[in-house]
Amino acid sequence: MPHFEDYDAPRGHIPHPQSAEALYVRRVLIAVLIVVLLVALWRVSLVLILIFGGILVAVALRNLSEPLRRYLRIPDRLSLLITTVALGIVAFAFFAVFGTLASQQFSALVDQTPGAVESARAWLNGSSIGQEVLRAMENSSEATVRLLGALPLAGGILGGIGEVILVIFVGIYFAADPPTYIAGVLRLMPPRRRLRARQILDAISESLRKWLIGMTLDMLLLGVMTGIGMWLIGVPLPFALAVLSGVAVFVPYIGPLIATIPGLLLALSVRPSLAIYAAIVYLIVLTIEGNISQPLLQRWTVSLPPVVNLLAILVFAPLFGIWGAVLATPLAVVLSVLLQKVYIEDVLDDRVR
């Protein structure tokens, strides 16, 4: 004699009711797991950002060694070894030739900055317009401190040097055997998703490669233009100011603007008219870099809206310290590729045809 409850469920299906309490407990456990995972990532945030820096170094080394391997028809690791040794020799020669000069100029730059600040204050106090400028600067000092707080300084010189060396060695290991590390990442994905994951990793690698090429050219161009301009108008320490401006481009928009302050102060310490000429040089150089060279380079590399670069600095600098500020733009590049490939193309199924 069949029971009436047998007709309530499809044939061959045994219902497994899930109580509201069990569902609630499951959701709580998932939330706790997510929080624990985020806390764990936060605790190792420095390690993660250094690993990302090593990935950038690996991409740069692969980009430089690939043409050598292709043209000389030598093994991949041999071309990487030659490239790494050559870069080490170039770096050693650079510091051997220009190290003393750069050290003297940067030391003089640090020594002359306080006197230049006092000269600037005295000159501005000599006119009513200058006094208004000083008052405006004093009123905006709190906002300036908050802005500079987005670019925290390194915890110490020795610690920073150790982190840089670690990033370089991590990059060398990554560059020496990228298939092993890529295969390890792909093993974390479901088998049916591994092909797509490999395509996304290739897209990220290509975007970082193009960004590195564009950034290197942009740094060289801005540094050379700044150094020549300061040398022509007679500002002290043009080599130090050129290096400072070129390196500052790595932190877009904010970095180059901050790098103009030492040059203007040094010029003002000589005479006020020289500070005006220095400001004109900086204005011309930054205008060329921001409106001509950078857009041309981004046309064939990776184009990010200016607001994305600024937001990336403001987000990643508090999270990862000085490394977050330095690597904010490449991190934004990676996130933009992931957003395009994972969300827009895969989730929304919106592909460019």
Number of H helices, E strands in the chain: 15, 0
For 82-125, how does the pLDDT look when each residue is reduced to its tens digit (9 = 90+)? 988 988 887 777 666 665 665 666 666 667 667 666 766 777 67
Give me the domain span that covers residue 322.
Answer: 22-347
Q: Under a CB-based contact definition with an 8 Å cutoff, are residues 204 and 215 in contact?
A: no
For the beta carbon of residue 347, count every other beta carbon within 10 angstroms.
Answer: 8
Report how far residue 331's alpha carbon sits from residue 250's, in angstroms, rounded to the nearest whole number: 12
11 within some domain = no
246 within some domain = yes
- Computed over every residue of the chain, the mean pLDDT equals 78
5 within some domain = no
4 within some domain = no
Q: What are the tokens at 3?
A: 């029971």
For 25-81, how does the pLDDT look when each residue is reduced to its tens digit (9 = 90+)? 777 788 888 888 777 777 777 888 888 999 989 988 888 888 888 888 888 888 888
352 within some domain = no
Q: Under a CB-based contact definition with an 8 Å cutoff, are residues 196 and 346 in contact?
A: yes
Structural domain total, the chain: 1
DSSP-H helix ranges across 271-305: 272-288, 294-300
Q: How does residue 281 score in pLDDT terms, banded at 50, 70 and 90?
A: very high
36 within some domain = yes
For 223-255, how does the pLDDT look when each residue is reduced to its tens digit (9 = 90+)? 999 999 999 999 888 887 888 888 888 877 778
15 within some domain = no
Instruction: Kindly report the pTM of this predicted structure.
Output: 0.70
133 within some domain = yes
Q: What are the tokens at 198?
A: 């490999």
**Contacting residues for 126 by C-beta, under 8 A, at least 6 apart:** none
Report how far residue 258's alpha carbon sits from residue 133's, in angstroms, rounded to the nearest whole number: 18
Long-range own/partner contacts, residues 9-12 (CB < 8 A, 24 or more apart): none
